[in-house]
Each structure stands twice: as structure tokens, then as C-alpha cells.
A = this chain, B = another copy of it.
């Protein structure tokens, strides 16, 4: 339909009045837009320019092809130009790069193997994606160093891994070692994949914890799972150099860390993040937003009324905080593409809502998932909030196979849900999806308490994890259950009586120094003993998860004592980092 072909330099004629849509970038958002555009307008000319060899590939599946969990190399290549032509009459041009935009003339300069040409558009969609950020580490040019964002990255990495496996098959006795730099979502998926592939893996993360977006009380659960699978963790430290080893050395390189640690590696995988690939947009003079994003309105339209942008490079507004920035996630990208197509073709749109940043990762047997801002983000944005923690079974506790779901959720003082995170071995994705839906709905603690979720013993509980989150938040926010936080243990331990209402056996297995142990079932009879020990101080109550200590807190409050319940109980306490100095109330 487009008369221009590689080599031509003139603007194509527009003889039949069909709309000319040009899409830059043929993955996720770009391809969603192109497909939707065709469904809305059978006559439109739709050209998709993709600079790589592949369109419409499943980028999120790359780690699972590294591991072999997805064995078929073609499984991630969902479509090709021929199938897209046949199904959707799209003109998909791989290895064609949009080199410049003439916004006045409404043309794109395209660079291809055969030369450059101009392509006229009535509507231009930019879906350029993101580029991998490389940290300031010396020696990243070594062939042992890889990234994992494109099909080309995948092939390079798996080729190297196959080579190393061939060495093992040929008699190499040294175990193959990998270091992953960056313990974010993709980094952790890569760690899991490399372990599955049989490598010995270290991970280096500049932040003090794995998966930095995760609340500090939840991240150690992932760290434990990684260690249990033999992964070496190097947290709170940067890598500084990749040092080539001499021929005949056991490993190809050594990765040096800032503290002098030297990690042997045959593969170094760098995964410290991405940045919007907005160079083309910037060069065309389109307005940019925060952190190099392309600024768009709620219909994905840029500062130019004939140009739209979607995906990793497009700016979004974050829910709750109202801050702006990129959101490099596949789900939003796909929906943005659909919306942009609607807007480009004059179809009614669903304006983009502020994004929640819902995300999830599998780390061996654990799942971690988040929706909405975490404590740090809320605090940075100055959003007042209270956090509650629940450790509740993913289905009825008396039904075989019950696993705890560990939830940390943030609520506004008026009860509104602000964000939630969960970690566990089962049912985590379900709870985060429900909480993401609730967050989008503007639900509060009362709404969560009243949610009517599906209950039969294999699936949930009459009081689901999400209901429990609502109940606890109600109790905290209306003052029924004052609480204290494990992060404040130093201060609380110094000023309060710590009351452990677990059983004597649980107490004996591990407790805070100086804690008084009164099992909750004995509390009513021993209330005077507690009053005496408190000697006018507040009473900081805890049990294992916060349930029994809630009952105890109510008894103490009724007795006129100033009692608070430890949010999340002992289970949260043992995973919560505290100030570097050893507190008086440290676990004995």
C-alpha cells in the first residue's frame, strides 16, 4: 500500500485517501498498536519499522530460554513479517531503522541495508523501547560480559553457555561460574535461569537487598531462597572491573567488587536497568519528560499532534504519588499501543490511568510481587501512610499444603490502600492481582475487609489473606490495635517492656533479650505481673505473626496499659534490617 520502497527518497503519493500510519518499533507496544490499527481501519497503510531482525518477540521469555524451561528456540518469536502480512495486512520491515523525523513534512527517514528513504505519515507512533544501562565497570567489552534484553542478546548468551557446556563435556573439571550484576526483576530471573542451567552463580547488587523495590522486611525472604539454591549474594556493594584472566586460568574473568572481593566468572550478566530509547524523539524536538521519557498525554499523544508514543520510552504518571517517569513493563506497553491506535484513528479511547507498576518475579520456589508504591517511595513523595503486615495461609490452614503469604501493605490515614507487596510459595500472584484491582478502584481497608473472594478449601479461606489485610488495617487505623514496627526495635526495646505472648516452647527457641514471656492464654491471670514488669513503661507485645499478640494487646489495653502490637510479629522481626549497631533488644 505504501509506494515508497528502500532506495526511494520521495514522499509517497496518497492517491486513495487511506490513512498512512507509521510505527517505529515492532515489539509489544508498537505491534499492539499496528494490529489494533488494522482492526480499526482496513484501508489504512500501516508500516512497522523495526531495526533488529525480529518483531513481536516475547522479551519477557528470554530468561526461560536461557534456563531451558522454554526449550524451543522459536517459541518466543510470536510473529514474523509474512504472518503479519497474511493475518493483518501489515507492512513490517525488519532491519529498517527510523533515523530522523521531519515533523513539518510528516516524514520519517528510514535507514536500511539498501540505503535510506523517506516514509510519509499521517500518524506516527514511536515505540522505540529502552536500551540496557551499563554501569561504570571497567572491562565490560570482554566477550564474557552479556546483557539480556533482545533476541540477539539471548543468542549471544546461549551460544556462550553452549560453548562452556561443550568444555565440560570435553573434560573441563572446573565448575562454570556466572556473576549477575543487578538483583532486580530481570537479574533475579537470570540468576534462576543460570542456576537451572547448572552454573554456580553469584549476584552483586549495589542496594542493601535483593529486588530493591521490595520492602526491606520482605526482601530477606528472597535472599534466603537464593542462598538455599547455592547463590552467593553480594549486597550493598558495586562491581568495579571485569579483569581478563590469562589463557589457561580456571575462569575467563574475575569480577572485582569495590571492597576488593574477586569473583571468578565464565559469564558476567549485567542487568542493572534500562533507560528510554528516546534519542529519535529528542532529535525531532518532541517534548521529553522525567528521566528521558517521551512526554505524552492520556491518549499517548506527544507534544506533536501527529505523533504518539508508547512503551518503555513513554512517560507515565505513577498512581498515588503522582510522580512521572518510565514504566518498562509489558502490560502497560501493550495497552498503551492499543490506546494509541484508537487515538490515531479517531476511535474512542480509554485514557491511561496512573500506573501502579504491578510486577512479579519467580525466584525458585518463591514468588514476589508488588503493586503501587512502597514505603520508601511514599516517604520520598511525602505521602502519609501506615504499614500493616499479614502472614496468612494461601488457603485454609487445615487443608493440606497451606503456605504462608507474607503481605506488607500501606494505607493512608483515611484508610485508602496505597500499595501492597507479597512474597510466598503459593497464591501470591492472586493476592497482588486482587490488591492491584483494589488499588485501581481506590479501595480502602473497609473495602478489603468486605471483599467477597472465592472460597473453597483448595483455593482460599473464609477470611482470605486480602480480607485479613483489610481487618488488620481497620484495627490499626481506628485505634483498636496500636502497633509498633520491627524497624523501630532499638528505640522500642530501650523504652518499653517487650512482652512475648507466644508459648513457652516458642519463646525458648528464640526471643528478644529482656522480653517477658507470658503466653496469651495465661495473660488474664498474670496481668498484674505484666503491670509490675512494665513499671509505667509502654508494653511492646509480639507473638509469631501478630494474631495472638493482637488478642493480648486488647487485654492489656482494657487493663489500662499502654500496649502496642508488633506489626507482622516475630516472622517480620527476624527479616527486618535494623540500624548497624547491635540493638539491646537483638534476637538472643
Query: Which residue of chain B has the shortest Cβ distance to A449 in the bound complex?
Result: B350
Residues of B within 8 A of A89 (CB): 524
Chain B residues lying within 8 Å of A423, measured Cβ to Cβ, are none
Name which of A151-159, A273-281, A461-469 contacts chain B: A461-469
Residue of B nearest to A367 (CB): B459
Residue of B nearest to A61 (CB): B457
Q: Are B521 and A455 in contact (CB under 8 A)?
A: no
Q: Which of A70-78, A205-213, A509-517 is near enough to bind chain B?
A: A70-78
Of B38, B348, B464, the residue contacting A331 (CB under 8 A) is: B464
Chain B proximity mask over A139-155: 1 for CB below 8 Å, otherwise 0: 00000000000000000
Q: Which of B60, B350, B524, B558 contacts A462 (CB 8 A)?
A: B60
- The answer on a CB contact under 8 Å between A78 and B371 is no
Q: Taking the complex as formed, is A39 at the interface, i.e. its CB lies under 8 A from any CB of chain B? A: yes
Choice from B353, B474, B551 contacting A87 with Cβ under 8 Å = B551
For residue A313, CB closer than 8 A to chain B, the reply is: no
- Contact residue among B75, B433, B462 (Cβ-Cβ distance under 8 Å from A453): B433
Residue of A64, A334, A347, A453 contacting most chain B CB atoms (<10 Å) = A453
Tell me whether A25 is interfacial, beta carbon within 8 Å. no
Cβ-defined contact, A454 with B433, below 8 A:
yes
Q: Whole-angstrom distance from the CB of A295 to the nearest CB of chain B? A: 20
Our pick among B352, B356, B457 for the contact of A64 (Cβ within 8 Å) is B457
Q: Residue of B at shortest CB range from A189? A: B456
Whether A330 lies near B462 (C-beta < 8 A) is: yes
- Tell me the nearest residue of chain B to A350, going by C-beta: B446
Is A86 positioned at the interface, with any CB of B under 8 Å from its CB?
A: yes
Does A282 reach chain B (CB closer than 8 Å)?
Answer: no
Is A332 an interface residue when CB atoms closer than 8 A count as contact?
yes
User: Known contacts A330-B462, A478-B348; is A456 also within 8 Å of B360 by CB?
Assistant: yes
A437 within 8 A of B: yes
Residues from chain B with a CB closer than 8 A to the CB of A438 are 437, 441
Contact A443 B446 (CB under 8 A): no
Chain B residue numbers with a CB within 8 Å of A358 are 452-455
Which stretch, A96-104, A165-173, A244-252, A395-403, touches the partner chain B? Answer: A395-403
Given contacts A338-B471, A355-B452, contact A61 B189 (CB under 8 A): no
Which of A359, A433, A450, A460 has the most B CB atoms < 10 Å from its CB?
A433
A361 within 8 A of B: yes
- For A42, the closest partner residue in chain B by CB is B558
Query: Quick check: is A498 within 8 A (CB to CB) of the other chain?
Result: no
Q: Is the pair B429, A454 in contact by a Cβ cutoff of 8 Å?
A: yes
CB distance from A544 to the nearest CB of B (A): 14
Question: Chain A 368-400 against B: per-residue CB contact (8 Å), 1 yes, 0 no?
Answer: 010100000000000000000000000010111
Task: Tell me the minimal C-beta distance from A523 to chain B in angstroms.
Answer: 10
**Known interface pairs A334-B462, A358-B452. Does A60 touch B446 (Cβ–Cβ under 8 Å)?**
no
- Min distance, Cβ A331 to any Cβ of chain B, angstroms: 5
| Chain B hits for A334, CB < 8 A | 462-463
A contacts with B, residue count (CB < 8 A):
93
Chain B residues whose C-beta falls within 8 Å of the C-beta of A61 in the assembled complex: 396, 398-399, 457
The residue on B at minimum CB distance from A355 is: B452
**A 492-522 to B, binary, CB cutoff 8 A, 1 in contact else 0:** 0000000000000000000000000000110
Residues of B within 8 A of A434 (CB): 433-434, 437
- Asked if A242 lies at the interface with its beta carbon under 8 angstroms from chain B, I say no
Chain B residues with CB below 8 A from A432, complex form: 454
- Residues from 291 to 332 in A contacting B, C-beta threshold 8 Å: 329-332
Q: Which residues between 24 and 43 of chain A lie within 8 Å of chain B, taking CB atoms? A: 28, 38-43
Closest to A524 in B: B89
A430 CB-CB contact with B under 8 Å = yes
Nearest B-chain residue to A369, judged by Cβ: B454
A362 in contact (CB, < 8 A): yes
Tell me the nearest residue of chain B to A59, going by C-beta: B462
Q: Are B399 and A462 in contact (CB-based, < 8 A)?
A: no
Judge if A95 is at the interface, Cβ distance under 8 Å. no
Is the C-beta of A530 less than 8 angstroms from some C-beta in chain B? no
A160 at the B interface (CB under 8 A): no
Q: A353-B450, A400-B69, A454-B371 are in contact. Are A362 and B551 (CB under 8 A)?
A: no
> Which positions 402-439 of chain A face chain B at CB distance < 8 Å?
429-430, 432-434, 436-438
Do the beta carbons of B555 and A331 come within 8 Å of each other? no
Complex-state Cα separation, A531 to B521, whole angstroms? 80
- Complex interface: chain B residues within 8 A of A457 (CB): 58, 60-61, 64
Residues of B within 8 A of A471 (CB): 338
Contact between chains at B430 and A429 (CB < 8 Å): yes
Is A447 a contact partner of B451 (Cβ separation < 8 A)?
Answer: no
Contact with B along A193-214 (1 / 0, CB 8 A): 0000000000000000000000
Contacts of A236 in B (CB 8 A): none
Instruction: Kindly provide the distance from the CB of A562 to the nearest chain B CB, expressed in whole angstroms.
Output: 15
Contact A521 B87 (CB under 8 A): yes
**Contact among B360, B452, B548, B558 for A43, CB-based, below 8 A:** B558
10 new A-B contacts, CB < 8 A, other than A360-B459, A433-B460, are A39-B550, A39-B554, A40-B480, A330-B462, A348-B478, A352-B450, A358-B452, A433-B434, A438-B441, A440-B441
6 contacts between A and B (CB under 8 A): A42-B558, A87-B548, A89-B524, A335-B449, A350-B474, A436-B453
